[in-house]
């Protein structure tokens, strides 16, 4: 059984968590949410605008800031809690 680190963190800090996990030799394997908030559907227009901006930013922004990974639906629209499952990197 591989070693895993399970971290519970708020959405705005996901890029920092990703950077720290990469530095420590972990790969993000799964991102899940606990539950959705009641009025969260009202935020979907903003999610689509962010997704459009992400597509326009291209590979440069993705390589530098993990934009595509940070702006996925379950990260941006995560609800009450965002659960990140990371395992030991295969390169280590």
Greater model confidence, 69 or 44: 44
The alpha carbon of residue 46 and the mean position of all alpha carbons in its chain are separated, in whole angstroms, by 17
Give the tens place of pLDDT for each residue, 26-66: 998 888 887 777 788 888 899 899 888 878 877 776 777 77
What was the pLDDT predicted at 13?
66
What pLDDT, in 10s, does the model give residues 5-27?
666 655 556 788 888 888 999 99
Q: Given the DSSP bridges, would you call strands 4-9 and 26-33 parallel, antiparallel or unpaired? A: unpaired
Question: What mean pLDDT is predicted for residues 65-92?
Answer: 79
**CA atoms within a 13 Å half-sphere pointing along the CA-CB vector of 24:** 15
Q: Are 14 and 68 in contact (CB under 8 A)?
A: no
Q: What is the CA radius of gyration of the chain?
A: 14
CA distances in angstroms from 16 to 34, 42, 44, 56, listed in the order given: 21, 27, 24, 23
pLDDT at 89: 82
Residue 25: per-residue pLDDT? 92
């Amino acid at each position: 059984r591989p070693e895993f680190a399970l971290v519970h963190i708020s959405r705005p800090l996901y890029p920092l968590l990703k950077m720290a996990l990469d530095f420590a030799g972990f790969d993000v394997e799964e991102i899940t949410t606990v539950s959705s908030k009641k009025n969260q559907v009202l935020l979907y227009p903003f999610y689509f605008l962010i997704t459009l901006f992400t597509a326009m930013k291209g590979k440069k922004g993705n390589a530098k800031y993990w934009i595509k990974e940070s702006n996925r639906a379950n990260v941006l629209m995560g609800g009450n809690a965002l659960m990140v499952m990371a395992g030991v990197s295969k390169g280590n």
